[in-house]
C-alpha cells in the first residue's frame, strides 16, 4: 500500500528552514528601516544647512561669529543648531574701503540622531565691498 503525503519529520525540517528564513528577513528589514531613518535625519539636516547658508550669503553685512537653533517647524522635529563664522578670504594688495574682497562663510550644523550628536560643515564664498568703517584686511580692528 502506497502512502501519500509527508512524514512528520519532513514537515518539522521544512518548518524549521522556513522559520530561519523569516527571522533573517525580519532582521534585515529592521536594520534597513533603522538606516533609512538615520539617512532621513541626515538629509533633513543637509537641506536645512543649505537653506541657512543661502540665507547667510544674502545678508549684506554679517557679524564675524553667530549661532542659533532651527525652529521645530523648519526641522520637522529634528533637534538641530548652527554656528557660522565669516572672514575675508582673499583681497587685493592695498585694499581699502570700497575695494572688492572675497569673503568666506563657514557654517557648522549639529543635530541629534538616535541619541548621538552629529555634525558637518559647509563653506560658502561671496564677493563684497569693504565698508568705510571697516579696517583694511590684515589690519586688526581697534
CA 131 to centroid of chain Cα atoms: 33
Longest dimension (CA), the chain: 108
Please state, in angstroms and rounded to a whole number, the distance separating the CA atoms of residues 67 and 24: 46
Task: Write out pLDDT tens, residues 72-84.
Answer: 887 777 889 999 9
pTM for the model:
0.68
Q: How many residues are present in the chain?
A: 142
Task: Write out pLDDT tens, residues 10-32.
Answer: 889 999 999 999 999 988 888 88
Strand order in the sheet with 65-69: 65-69, 80-91, 100-113, 116-129
| CB contact at 8 A, 106 and 71 | no
Amino acid at each position: 500500500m502506497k502512502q501519500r503525503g509527508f512524514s512528520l519529520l519532513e514537515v518539522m525540517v521544512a518548518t524549521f528552514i522556513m522559520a530561519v528564513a523569516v527571522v533573517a528577513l525580519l532582521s534585515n528589514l529592521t536594520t534597513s528601516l533603522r538606516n533609512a531613518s538615520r539617512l532621513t535625519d541626515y538629509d533633513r539636516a543637509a537641506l536645512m544647512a543649505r537653506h541657512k547658508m543661502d540665507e547667510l550669503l544674502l545678508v549684506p553685512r554679517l557679524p564675524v561669529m553667530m549661532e542659533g537653533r532651527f525652529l521645530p517647524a523648519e526641522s520637522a522635529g529634528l533637534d538641530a543648531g548652527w554656528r557660522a563664522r565669516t572672514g575675508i578670504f582673499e583681497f587685493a594688495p592695498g585694499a581699502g574701503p570700497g575695494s572688492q574682497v572675497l569673503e568666506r562663510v563657514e557654517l557648522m550644523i549639529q543635530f541629534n540622531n538616535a541619541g548621538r550628536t552629529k555634525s558637518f560643515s559647509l563653506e560658502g564664498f561671496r564677493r563684497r565691498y569693504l565698508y568705510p568703517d571697516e579696517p583694511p584686511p590684515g589690519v586688526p580692528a581697534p
